[in-house]
Chain A
Amino acid sequence: QVQLVQSGGGVVQPGRSLRLSCAASGFTFSGYAMHWVRQAPGKGLEWVAFISYDGGDKDYADSVKGRFTISRDNSKNKIYLQMNSLRLEDTAVYFCAKGLRYSDSFYFDHWGQGTLVSVSS
């Protein structure tokens, strides 16, 4: 069965960096796009970043563009989210998600367990 197991996260000061990881199993990892989605405390879901199946295409939410970098290692079945210049408003539970494509649209059929990133001075 599909499993997405996340690691990383924690408490970090504003302006510092943090890296999240997501290890995938149970499917042909190199054949699927992957995404990061977050949920700030008491708020809704916010899509953060996308990486294509081969890593050749990436896209980011405007709120993180230029600060966050998504990457993947298909030999290790992992994706990463490098978060630099963290801000208080980046505090959230971060989820990795497996993307499925329909026409011009992506949706997310399996999710990691979530990991809390808390930006605090």
Chain B
Amino acid sequence: SYVLTQPPSVSGAPGQTVRITCGGNNIGGQPVHWYQKKPGQAPVLVVYDVFARPSGIPERFSGSSSGNTATLTISRVEDGDEADYFCQVWESSRNHQGVFGGGTKLSVL
């Protein structure tokens, strides 16, 4: 089955830009979606279809993808951005299944 690989953790000081990567075979050729997950809360969709943002999500959150890597970029990081972030694709080649990356813990220093 399709595997998505994320770094376990990233960190940045308030105001800095952080990038969270998601590696997968030819991930640049398919829609990638990103979720923010805080402890005890439901996940929140922050980017869909590689770079689109749902209403209410700040422009500080942006996405890109090329080749074997998708990236979530958070500009001007704030304390409230501290959370786990998960990338997700939909596998439809063999059977229809959702696939999540292992998640990346963002720590705001």
Contact = CB atoms under 8 A, between A and B. Distances in A.
B49 A102 contact: yes
A107 interface: yes
A12 B75 CA distance: 44
Interface string A37-52: 1010000111100100
A109 B45 contact: yes
A106 B98 contact: yes
Which of B31, B97, B98 has the largest number of chain A CB atoms within 10 A? B98
Contacts, number: 74
Interface in B8-44: 30-31, 33, 35, 37, 42-44
Q: What band does the interface of chain A fall in when counting residues whose beta carbon is under 8 Å from B? A: 20 to 34
B98 A114 contact: no
11 contacts: A37-B100, A45-B86, A46-B100, A50-B97, A102-B49, A105-B49, A108-B43, A108-B88, A111-B43, A112-B42, A114-B42
Interface of A: 35, 37, 39, 44-47, 50, 57, 59, 61-62, 95, 100, 102-109, 111-114
Interface of B: 1, 30-31, 33, 35, 37, 42-45, 48-49, 54, 84, 86, 88-90, 92, 95-103
